[in-house]
Structure 1
């Protein structure tokens, strides 16, 4: 009898294997891990990067405390590869077509669905989709890995997770399904799920105390009143890592220093790297050079500065690219930093040995109308810097020191440089927060500092003009000036318009048009989906309500 049952078992096992292989479109990696076999179809959580072959059941987390030093990694333990799961959904599609889909993630907090996302097709390499039965990514990590897992977690937090994971204990559950994108979106059955107890510690309000403004700031200190409780609430959220990687908040009201707060190891003399905030300094220097006559006007074209036939992909369209179209990011170059596959994406520029050559060798886009279509184009701002460098006496480094930083009494700053040793106008101009505030207040003053016209009033006016409407699907509501952004905050049903400089990580210089306010926020939340949304929340819910009259 036992022998008979053994034979039946072997037959059934062989049949199942044969059926599974017949149902696959590609051979997945073999499943050899004892732990994976014991946890098939689960999403498990870990505190560190441990190879699967060394992973023990005791390494899997059942709880996580949301403190800045604690990391949280997610591992999918699947019975088959993603591509094979997708194949069962759409048997007629090729492997390449199946790779156009990915995983669907659904996040639940305390039994309530909070967020759902069909992961972008590029989030996993084809080899991982086709053969891998384990997928391991960080969700929360202090190591700063460039991983889709961190971005997924950031989007979850920005779209309800932050509000759901309040102080106290919660049950977080994640479900995973496959999806295919063509001919229509189709989502498969559950292939993995897991849950973990998440504890969010209470905020220590001793970390929320306002920081006294010390002498020697270079600013007159304001005696205006403001809602100190609101700022303390914001400080507590920064200290509790609810607002992440914020390094400073400075508020200037009526030309005087009202609020000066530093966080996460930053201090008054810290030099911050605000990334693309530095682009707007290129705009300011262009305005000064126009006023001084070294640049005739913003209507000058590239052919007046370069022999464009020496660069690849020559087109007569390039001849007529104006400085204004580069200042407003509306040139005809085939470039878009918001598209990862764009040939002109800035990430393709940085590894090259000549950034100007990279920019001027790009193809033009015949579908673009000059001055009409906005596309974020960092390489174009590098070209502006190069034009300035060759046009002003002594080069851009010396000219900026004499014409902008010296009048503003800014001496502690640090340019980054291109491979040709030209100040990098693409971004990365490091300064103190109080000195970024001087730059903002300069524009608030109509270009005047200490009674001297540093930037012409007309240039400020042109810079603060809504030259282009920003695409809603990329950056939301707003407009674009001369390397200045524009938006309107609504607080207590009232509108407050601001022009602002903006950089990766959540760095901002806000200049309000209908209020006597300049606000500086510096942050290091680089390449995170929450960087800019959390700044908007800080502004709308804390800073503006605290200081508006």
Structure 2
């Protein structure tokens, strides 16, 4: 009897300790606790080698984001810079274990363009709209919500929130002076081949296209009836204690009238300028929120159901969810077998990696993009 009671006590103690250890630390605004890697069971030497790898593999593009963007999209016939841009900083990043900082490098408080990492922030405003009942279901046709002509016609009327969120909408048209067919055109073929090519059926092909992502942002503005940066600030960034330095821009010509008030429709990336400008530390807070299934220190800011939805492979691309990349299919990182990893990714090596299995968030700025898989592998080796 005495032995049974002792065994029961030990089992309960084990589970209590395991539960306590599993709880994340949530940093207050303007504060963040750093812990020695070894105190959290992490091999400090191996982790230091991973950080050194990130520092040694800086993105090789120009430090002038305007020039880098123009060069990077030189195949586009009408590409021009329409929104704010900023010269980038140097390599920087932070690694969280259980919410604590275990490593950081570079200027983690510098506000930089983050390019297509913006898409994962945009996805979050869609999730909030679902949570609050502003959108009934992602399978709804967007034309039922936005009836100003944006989704007129036999083709565009088929577009759903689901296909906009996984970049398979094939929406066809022009927005803020930019044609969908001129965005990342095929490397072969002439201008007329692209211009008059019949769009594919919505939901069948994933096409990385910023014009269509910006159509999503415009459509969400029509649903929320207030600027998306304000939505993100009120519901996510302020509650997680983000700094006041981040910004979310649109184009100089993307101002629209909403209920008699002039508002800017923001962009889903920095392709032609704009998007989210933010620090590595604010990225880390955002990543920590998703690591904890949308819960911040006991408060559910965005539903766990939405966090799970963004990680579901789309029908058109196994490696892509709702504006988040997944470690699956053709984009699976060599040597990283865990398919539960998902991440936000942007031009120039900007990443927010969520590794639930290891209770990790990895943020990188200006890492050579094809090195992120190796970087993650090295960090995981330190666990």
Q: Shorter chain as normaliser: what TM range?
A: 0.5 to 0.7
Q: Is the 8 A contact 1:505 1:532 kept in 2?
A: yes
Secondary structure of 2:353's partner? strand
1-structure distance, mates of 2:283, 2:357: 20
Which residue of the partner structure matches residue 320 of structure 1?
Answer: 158
**What does residue 506 of structure 1 align with?**
349
- For 1:76-155, list aligned pairs within 5 A: none
Q: 1:372 aligns with which of 199, 204, 208?
A: 204
User: Is the 1:333–1:365 Cα contact (8 Å) retained in structure 2?
Assistant: no
Partner residue, 1:252: 96
State whether residues 251 and 257 of structure 1, in contact with CA within 8 Å, keep that contact through their aligned partners in structure 2: yes
Within the alignment, does 1:543 sit opposite 2:379 as a pair? yes
| 1:281 partnered with 2:281 | no
Higher relative contact order (CA 8 A, sep 6+): 2
Mapped contact 2:95–2:361 kept (Cα < 8 A): yes
Counterpart of 2:358 in structure 1 is 515
Matched, 1:483 2:323: yes
How does 1:223-302 map onto structure 2 within 5 Å?
223-237=39-53, 247-262=91-106, 267-302=107-142
Q: TM-score, normalised by structure 2?
A: 0.68
Residue correspondence of structure 1 range 200-211 to structure 2 within 5 A: none
Change in Cα spacing, 1:285 to 1:244, as seen in structure 2 (3 Å) is: same
Partner of 1:161: none
Shift of the 365–332 alpha-carbon distance from structure 1 to 2, 3 Å rule, reads farther
Deviates more, 1:423-432 or 1:439-448: 423-432
Deviations 1:412-456 (A, max 9, x none): 211122322222233531212111111111111111112111111
Cα deviation, residue 371, structure 1: 1.8
Structure 1 CA distance for aligned equivalents of residues 337 and 159 of structure 2: 40
Mapped contact 1:238–1:244 kept (Cα < 8 A): no
1:429 is paired with a residue of what secondary structure? strand
Aligned-partner SS, 2:162: helix
1:427-442 pair list within 5 angstroms: 427=270, 428-442=275-289
Unaligned runs of 5+ in 1: 1-214, 336-340, 348-361, 471-477, 526-530
CA distance in structure 1 between the partners assigned to 2:172 and 2:226 by the alignment: 33
Matching residue of 1:93: none
Partner of 1:415: 248
Is 1:329–2:145 an aligned residue pair? Answer: no
1:258 positional shift:
1.5
Match of 2:232 in 1: 400
What does residue range 518-533 of structure 1 map to in structure 2 within 5 Å? 518-523=361-366, 531-533=368-370
Contact kept? 1:511, 1:517, Cα under 8 Å:
yes
Residues 276 and 404 (structure 1), Cα distance of their counterparts in 2 relative to 1, 3 Å cut: same
Query: Structure 2 CA distance, aligned partners of 1:401 and 1:535?
Result: 29
Per the TM alignment, residue 514 of structure 1 is displaced from its structure 2 partner at its CA by: 2.5
The equivalent position to 2:183 in structure 1, one of 345, 360, 380, is 345
- Distance (whole Å) between structure 2 residues aligned to residue 219 and residue 310 of structure 1: 44
2:72 alignment counterpart: none
* Unpaired stretches in structure 2, ≥5 consecutive residues: 1-27, 62-89, 174-178, 186-194, 256-263
Give the Cα–Cα distance (whole angstroms) in 1 for the partners of residues 58 and 225 of structure 2. 48
Equivalent-residue separation in structure 2 for 1:504 and 1:414 (angstroms): 18
User: Which one has a larger percent strand, Structure 1 or Structure 2?
Assistant: 1
Count of residue pairs the alignment pairs up: 293
CA shift, 1:342, in A, is 7.6
Structure 1 pair 517–233 and aligned structure 2 pair: CA distance change class (3 A): closer
Contact 2:112–2:279, Cα closer than 8 Å, also in 1:
yes
**Distance in 2 separating the partners of 1:310 and 1:327:** 17
Is the 8 Å Cα contact of residues 94 and 108 (structure 2) preserved in structure 1?
no
Length-normalised TM-score, structure 1: 0.48
Distance 1:240 1:309, change over 3 A: closer
Q: Give the RMSD, CA atoms, in angstroms.
A: 3.1
Greater CA drift, 404-413 or 277-286: 404-413
